[in-house]
Structure 1
Amino acid sequence: MDTYQKRDDHVRTRSWRKMLVMGLIIFIGINLRTIVLAVPPILPLLRHDLGLSYTQTGLITSLPTLIMGGAALPAGLLIGRLGGRFMIACGLALLALGGFLRALWPALLPLYFFTALLSLGIACSQTAIPSLVRQWFPTRIGFVSALFTDGLVIGETLGAVLTIPVVLGWLGQNAWAASFIFWAVPVVIALFLWLWLAPTSPPTHSPEQALSAESSSRAAISTGHKPVRISAWVLGLLIGGAQLTYFGMNAWIASYNQALHIPEMTPLALGVLNAAQLPVNLAATFFADRMAGKRAPFIVTGVICLIAILGWLLTPATLEPLWAAFLGGSATLVFTLGIALPALLARGEQIARMTGTMLTMGYIFSFLGPFLGGWLWDITHVPAVAFLPVAFAALLLLTLGIVLPLHKHMAS
């Protein structure tokens, strides 16, 4: 009787620990996005106080994607040497440091530098998650990976929705520098929780679970190394199109509405753009296995994004929340399907490298969106052209979805 009781207690403890780690992964995801997505709502204030051009303003929101993309592959290589747990701790430390320091020097060059520093921290942490998911949850990779993206979406929503009405409402309508500190504090909390609660080794699984996980892994990589490498780059291009759509809209909604003298639409449009991702991401959590490797998600995403961006520019401003919902939901679907695939398809030692390759391609590609949008706006003095890169991304997703030879067991 005592033996059975001890076994039951061990099972309950292990289940509770797994749930705790899942919650921690979600919390990490939240903090990897709030500190970045809290910036677009205050861009008009930054532009006014620092005397920025639209090109300089666009670079503020483009810089994180550039750094995250450029640093993802080197971070993947370091993860193989130093371990995912250590790299996430380093990433959170850099994220908190950059968040606090850019509030202390509210000038253009320090703002760029410390934004790059915190973006480097995001790259380290984000790239390490898939390899740790494989180690800690080998039989639930898709589900836990989707939980991580749920955290990213929640963080994006909180940063976009709360910054103006809550943060600036408490701190003062011109206290944009103080908002940086507000969003950096939870990152410090996440760092302490990570050092305290994150497992130092993979959890113990029953022989049946281990055999099942190993069999699934071998089946997933049975197509060989070459298809996995190719699919990582292809997936990076697809994710880049979705990221360009998402970051491009976040970058220019506030300034576009300001130029059209409809600033009252900005909080709702930005909030819906980010909040609409959550139900889509939650649905993808349960259907990702069925959708992975199929053309339909990319084709549908491309069509919806193209219709939505045309609707944004051609229909009354009161419909902005509708088009924002379509754009935000479509972009997150592609990212959600992609982030779990390295852990599903690559061998253990290759997961971080494949993730780094995918994110490098995706983020460098998406970097061009807000930056080119601002550059086109400066040249033409037409606010609508800031969204031309978003229209291009929609066409890219549609084209790749139609012509790419996607297969059942490949990451693309």
Structure 2
Amino acid sequence: MQTSPSDNLATLDTASSAPRPAEPGGPRRPASPWRGRVMAAGLLLAALNLRPAVTSLGPLLEEVRDGLGMSGTVAGVLTSVPAACFAIFGLTAPRLARRWGLGAVVCAGLAAIATGLVLRPLAGGTVAFLAASGLALAGIAVSNILMPVIVKRWFPDRVGAMTGLYSMGLSLGTAAAAAATVPMTDALGGSWRVGLGVWALVAVVALVPWLFLARDRTNGSEAGGSEAGRSAVSGTVTGGSASGGSASGGSGADASATAEAPAADGTAIRITRSPIAWAMAVFFGFQATAAYISMGWMPQIFRDAGVSASTSGVLLAVVMAMGVPLAFVLPRLAARLRHQGVLVVILGVFGLVGYAGLWLAPAEGAWAWAVLLGVANCAFPLALTMIGMRARTHAGVARLSAFAQSIGYLLSIPGPLLVGVLYQHSGGWGQPIALMAGFMVPQIVAGVLAGRDRTLEDEA
């Protein structure tokens, strides 16, 4: 299951299992059990809203195209917008959080999601529809980045449990929007505008606890790990003790000091010159490409093969839901291996077989192909785990995570667009599916290179 930069700082926990002392301005426990429950509810409700804007559109894409007179190429642009927004707006989240506070920025992000989802069905043309979608996706992008920081600051003793709650909410929101949008549209009169707009109500409900949480400016205006966001491209990764300042829990100043400490041998490496960083970025980019092609185009592939719109949405939900159980298994398995390349190859083979089946018999084996492609899409939690294993310091993990995800999402932007262009000009799905399968090859190669038992500090 694909998510977004949201989990980039969550991977820092896998970098070291050693307990760390509390730091000034670092993690805080909720002031009371009541406040802790409000925060947990807000976390879950926010997570539920971080994908419906994307996965609710795929099952209704044909109706949206017809209603707005949208060409296949423009539809391809629409399916590329999520990756572009995540890459661009996600980088602004740390700066906004330092200025306004974590809770306030997440609250504003949810408000942007709700507003975008309200305006999108009211759009009378393609440009307005894209603009409204962009507003919702910008809100998703900043919330993606900051919610794991909130987990680390407010639940320092329950990071695993609360990250699991967040991940579960993310997966449920993703799958529910894919499966329920068409049935709800039919039940509400059959208008795609109503079917898409109803998800704004879920975002409005999620706003309620955050209106309270946003009032507390002590909830982490330093935005732990923010230096990683600012230095995603230009930062320097250095060696040092893994017990140095936390890039996620401490203040921005602490993270910066750790990241800029000299290595034991006095050398340092710029992350833009790191083969490991580039291998991780390319691997992340191609797995994100596959995920956003699936979310944007998979229902249309099944519908063109004769599968009903409702069933096509459920099939997309199956693809997305496969990430729920495997997200718990793959990271643990990867952590036990010295070289994660074997897992990269296995997931790649699942993807190639799924695309082959989709090309040969899309309707006859639809459920099997959905399962296979859902397994292949679990390269996302594997990528996050590998990021945590490719650096020895918390600052190194933070910089690698920011670099790999920012560059990776930028690399993923053209994929869905190319699929739309090929679909329009070829009049069928043969060439687009061949392209999807072709993307799997560099994903496997880059993943094998990124999975080697090396760290950024080894390159210094």
State the TM bucket, normalised to the shorter chain.
0.7 to 0.9
Change (3 A) 1:401 1:238: closer
Per-residue deviation at 1:160? 0.3
Secondary structure, in 3 states, of the residue corresponding to 2:340?
Answer: coil
Q: Any unmatched runs of 5+ in structure 1?
A: 1-10, 204-212
- What corresponds to 2:18 in structure 1? none
Per-residue deviation at 1:350? 9.2
Change (3 A) 1:84 1:158: same
**Kept in 1: contact 2:359–2:429 (CA 8 A):** no
- What corresponds to 1:53 in structure 2? 71
**Greater alpha carbon shift after TM alignment, 359-368 vs 52-61:** 359-368
Change (3 A) 1:398 1:16: farther
Provide the C-alpha distance between the structure 2 equivalents of 1:80 and 1:12, rounded to a whole number of angstroms. Answer: 20
Per-residue deviation at 1:31? 0.3
Secondary structure, in 3 states, of the residue corresponding to 2:292?
Answer: helix
1:101 corresponds, among 92, 95, 119, to 119
Q: CA RMSD in A?
A: 3.7
Counterpart residue type for residue 126 of structure 1: N
Change (3 A) 1:194 1:406: farther
- What corresponds to 1:78 in structure 2? 96
Matches within 5 A, 1:97-176: 97-138=115-156, 140-141=158-159, 144-165=162-183, 167-173=184-190, 175-176=191-192
Counterpart residue type for residue 376 of structure 2: S
Change (3 A) 1:345 1:151: farther
Per-residue deviation at 1:96? 1.1
**Greater alpha carbon shift after TM alignment, 28-37 vs 292-301:** 292-301
Counterpart residue type for residue 281 of structure 1: A
Counterpart residue type for residue 375 of structure 1: V
- What corresponds to 1:400 in structure 2? 446
- What corresponds to 1:194 in structure 2? 210
**Kept in 2: contact 1:251–1:370 (CA 8 A):** yes
Matches within 5 A, 1:184-333: 184-197=200-213, 201=218, 217=246, 226=269, 230=274, 234-263=279-308, 265-284=311-330, 289-290=335-336, 294-315=340-361, 317-333=363-379
Residues 152-174 of structure 1 show CA distances to partners (whole Å, capped at 9, x for unaligned) of 22111011000001x2122122x
**Kept in 1: contact 2:280–2:383 (CA 8 A):** no
Provide the C-alpha distance between the structure 2 equivalents of 1:83 and 1:341, rounded to a whole number of angstroms. Answer: 27
**Kept in 2: contact 1:302–1:398 (CA 8 A):** yes
Per-residue deviation at 1:259? 2.9
Change (3 A) 1:24 1:238: farther
Change (3 A) 1:389 1:15: farther
Counterpart residue type for residue 182 of structure 1: V
Per-residue deviation at 1:195? 2.9
Instruction: Determine if the alignment matches structure 1 residue 29 to structure 2 residue 74.
Output: no
Counterpart residue type for residue 130 of structure 2: Y
Change (3 A) 1:235 1:184: farther
Provide the C-alpha distance between the structure 2 equivalents of 1:380 and 1:354, rounded to a whole number of angstroms. Answer: 39
Provide the C-alpha distance between the structure 1 equivalents of 2:325 and 2:108, rounded to a whole number of angstroms. Answer: 31
**Greater alpha carbon shift after TM alignment, 84-93 vs 96-105:** 84-93
Residues 218-274 of structure 1 show CA distances to partners (whole Å, capped at 9, x for unaligned) of 9x9899674877555543332222221122122222322333333365234222112
The share of aligned pairs that are identical, in percent, is: 24
Per-residue deviation at 1:358? 3.7
Counterpart residue type for residue 189 of structure 2: G
Q: How many residues align?
A: 388
Provide the C-alpha distance between the structure 1 equivalents of 2:388 and 2:295, rounded to a whole number of angstroms. Answer: 27
Instruction: Determine if the alignment matches structure 1 residue 66 to structure 2 residue 87.
Output: no
Per-residue deviation at 1:216? 9.1
Counterpart residue type for residue 369 of structure 1: G
**Greater alpha carbon shift after TM alignment, 135-144 vs 309-318:** 135-144
Change (3 A) 1:298 1:159: same
- What corresponds to 1:90 in structure 2? 108
Counterpart residue type for residue 181 of structure 2: T
Structure in which a larger fraction of residues adopt helix: 1
Instruction: Determine if the alignment matches structure 1 residue 178 to structure 2 residue 194.
Output: yes
Provide the C-alpha distance between the structure 1 equivalents of 2:451 and 2:382, rounded to a whole number of angstroms. Answer: 20
**Greater alpha carbon shift after TM alignment, 385-394 vs 184-193:** 385-394
- What corresponds to 1:40 in structure 2? 58
Change (3 A) 1:335 1:310: same
**Kept in 2: contact 1:72–1:356 (CA 8 A):** no
Q: Any unmatched runs of 5+ in structure 2?
A: 1-28, 221-241, 248-257
Residues 278-315 of structure 1 show CA distances to partners (whole Å, capped at 9, x for unaligned) of 22224357667546973333222222212211122123
**Kept in 2: contact 1:256–1:383 (CA 8 A):** yes
Change (3 A) 1:76 1:87: same
Provide the C-alpha distance between the structure 1 equivalents of 2:360 and 2:433, rounded to a whole number of angstroms. Answer: 12
TM-score normalized by the length of structure 1 = 0.80
Instruction: Determine if the alignment matches structure 1 residue 372 to structure 2 residue 389.
Output: no
